[in-house]
Structure 1
Amino acid sequence: MLQEFVGLMSPKMKSLKHLYYLINKLGPVRINTLVEQTGYKHSTCSRLVEELVQAGLIYDSGLGESKGGRKPALYVIKPDSFYLIGAEISSLFTTVLLLDLQLNIIAEHKLKMNETSTPEYTLNFISERIDRMLAEHSVPRERLLGIGVGAIGPIDRNAGTLLSHEHMLAGWERVHIVDFLQRRFQTTVLLDNGINLAALGEYRSKYWKQADSLVYTSSGVAIRCGIILQGQVLGSKLDMDDSLGHITVDVHGRRCSCGAYGCLEAYSSFPSVREEIVRRIKRGKASVLQQMVGQADEVQFHHILDALEQNDPLCYDVVRDAAYYYGIGLSNLIHLLRPEMVIVGGGLGANLTFYEITAETVRSRLQHYRSSKVQIVRASTGYNVVAVGAGCMVLDYFIEEKQTA
C-alpha cells in the first residue's frame, strides 16, 4: 500500500496516507488524538486505522496505560514493513546504509575515496553493497521502498545527474547516478544535495517532534547550509548550497575565492583558518605546530585540531576570530529566516571551541529579541547524517504531504 501513496489518489487513499504520516510523526498515538488531528469521525478514523493495520503498515505498540479497564491502543508504524537505502557520495567517503522506516541503521558500508574511485567503480560498489545488505538481512527486493543519494552540489535533480565540482575527484562530471541505480534495482531512486539531506537527517532523527523550522550549517572546506521550513527541505533550482559562505560579514574585509571582499568563507572556513595560521607563523608567531611539521606550509586541518587540544594560543586566536565571524553570519541568517533551531556542523563546527564562541556571538547579537527561543546546537557526532537523510528523502517521497503555495 505504501507505494500507492504517490500520484493521483482516491479520497480514501489520501486519508490513509494522512493517517500514516501522523502515526509516523506522533506515534505511539491514540485513535482519539488522530481524530483531533484529522477531524475525521471516530468510526471513520478507526476503520481507516484498522485498514493500515491489516496492510501491515502499523500496529498497536502495547504501550498504553490502563486506568482500570482495557488498555488503550497506541499505534506506531511497523518499521520493517519496508526498507530504505541511503547513500552519500563525497570526496572523502562513499557511505551506503540499509535503514528501516524509523531510520534505524540496520547495516552500513563505507568506501574511502581515492584516485581509483571512478564513477563506475563507486556506483558498482554501492550496487554490490546494496545486494549484500539485502541478502544478509533477508530483505526481498519488493520490500525495498527506494534508494536515496546525497552528493556535493551542484546537481541536476531532473536528470538525476551529479555535475562537476571543485571538491570532487576528477572524472565525476555529468555522472548519471539515478539512471544507473534505477536500471540496476528497478525501484525509486532520488538524488539531492548533501547539505539538504544533512539538515533532513538531523531534523527527522532528533528534532521533528519539537520544531518546524531548522537550519543546518556546515563549516569545513567550504561553508554550506540546508534549510527546513514547515517541516520540509527548502529546495531551489539554483543549487546555491554554499551561499551562506558568501554573505558579507566585513565590507572592507579579506578577498574571497569568489572575487568579492569580506565573505564569511574568507574568515570561517578551514582553508581561510589554515591560511591565516600559516601567515602568522611565517611572520614569527610561535605555535606548537612548528613541532609537528617541518614547514608552515605543511600544516593540515588535523594538526590545527591537535594544537587546539594542546591550548595553542595562536590556533586558539585564529579559530576564535573565525567563530566570531561565523556567529555574525548565523545571526544574519536567523534575522532573515527566524528558525527555531540552528545546527552547527562540519569539520570546524564540530570543534567545541569554535561552537561555543559561535553560539555566544549569536546570543549576544540577538539580545534585541530577548524573547527569541532560537536554539544553537552542535551537529551529531556521527558521520552518517547525509546518508540517513537520503533514506528519509525516499520515505518522504511516499508519505510527505507537500505544502502548496
Structure 2
Amino acid sequence: MRVLLVSQYFWPETFGINALARSLQERGLHITVLTGKPNYPEGHIFKEYSAWGVQREQHMGVEIIRLPLVARGVLSPGRLVLNYLSFIASGTVIAPWLLRDRRFDVVFVYAPSPLLQALPAVFLAWLKRAPLAVWVQDLWPESLSATGFIKNRMALGLVARVVRFIYRHTDRVLVPSEAFRAPILALTNGTANIHYYPNAWVEEAVSEAPVDVDSLVNDIASGFSIVFAGNLGAAQSLDTILDAAERLQNAKSHARFFLIGSGSLSNWLSDEIQRRNLRNVTLPGRFPPAAMPRLYEAASALLVSLRNEPIFSYTIPSKVQGYLSAGRPVVASLNGEGARVVTEAGAGIACAAGDAQALAEAVQVLTQMDSSSRTKMGENARRYALAHFSLDRLASDLVGQFEELVATHAIQNQEKSR
C-alpha cells in the first residue's frame, strides 16, 4: 500500500508522527512524507537545510520530500502566519508537479496546528483519486480564539469556513480524544466520518542521549522533584506553575520543579524566576527525546498543565502518553479529557487547570505520601499506557483503517462508474 503522508512537521523535528511513519513502513507500507524544512521549535531552518528549493532524503527507510518554507521565527506572529501559508502554497502549487507520476492508495494528514495544512492534501487526494484521512491534533478555530492568536470575529469565521471545507472533503477524521467528536460534528452538520485514534507513546533509545545528561539526572534524583517536559508556551499555563512553586517555597516545601524544554515563554520564565527569587524552579533547557526516559525515571513525579480554557478540556496532551509509559506518578493541572485519563488510570493526582493553590496542594500530597503509594501510581500509569497507547497496537490499527478506507473507496468508485 502506498501512503502519502502530509505533515508540515517531521523528523528531525520531534513529533510523534516520526515513529508512527517508521512503524507503518516496517509493516510493509510504502510511506512518502510531504513536509517542510525543519524549523520547530527554534524558529529558524535547521543546519544542512535551506528554506528554498526542494530537498529529498530518506530516514529509517521513509522517503521524505521537503518543500520550500518560510521559517516561523521567534515571537513573530507575522512570520508564523507566513510559515503556515508558505507550506499551504508549496503543497498546493509545487507538490502536484513533484508527484505528477506517482500513485497513492491513501493520503494521510498529521495535523497539529495549523489544521489548514490539510488544504494541499485535499487537492492531492482529489488529483490522485485516493481517500483522505486527517488525524486532527488541535481543534480549529477554537484554539486560535483560546490562545488569543486571532481575536477578530470575522477572521475566526473565515477560518471556520476553511476548516468546514477540509472536514467535508475528508473521508475519515481521526481524533485523539472522544471530546473532539461533538465540535467537529457541529461544524459539519453531522456529516464527518469520525474515528477515535489516540496518540501513541514511543520508547527512545537511551544510548542516543547526550553525555551531559548525567548531571541533570543526578540533580533531579537528589530530592523530591516535579519534572515538566515539553513546549514552554502560552497554552501551558506556566504562570500557574510558578505561582504554585512560590506557594510551596513560602510553605518551606522541599519539592523542586524542573521545567525542561523551550518555547516562546522561555525568556519570560527565566526573568520571572529571577524576579520572584524562586529557588525551587530550574530551567535546564531543551533535550532530545532520547534523553527523556532517564530524566523521567529520575523524577519523583511528572507534571502536565494547560490553561483554563474550554478548548483545552477537549484534548489529551501528547505528553500524557509519554508520562504514563514512564511509570511515574503524574500531576495533571488539567480540565476534561487529560485529567480523566490520569484519574481513570489511577496514575496520579488531577487538579483544576489554572488553579495554583490546587496544584501546590497536589504536590504537597505527593510529598507526604509513602513511597509504596507513589510506586503503585507509577505501576498503574505504565499498565494503562501499555493497554491504550502502545505504538505497536496503534500502528496496526491504523493499517486496518487504511485498508478499510481503500476498500470503501474502491466500492464507491465502482458504483459511480455504473
Which structure exhibits the higher relative contact order, with contacts defined as CA atoms closer than 8 Å and separated by 6 or more residues? 1
- Computing the radius of gyration from Cα coordinates, the structure with the larger value is 1
Is the helix fraction higher in 1 or 2? 2
- Whether these two folds match at TM > 0.5 is no
> Shorter-chain TM-score: which interval?
0.3 to 0.5
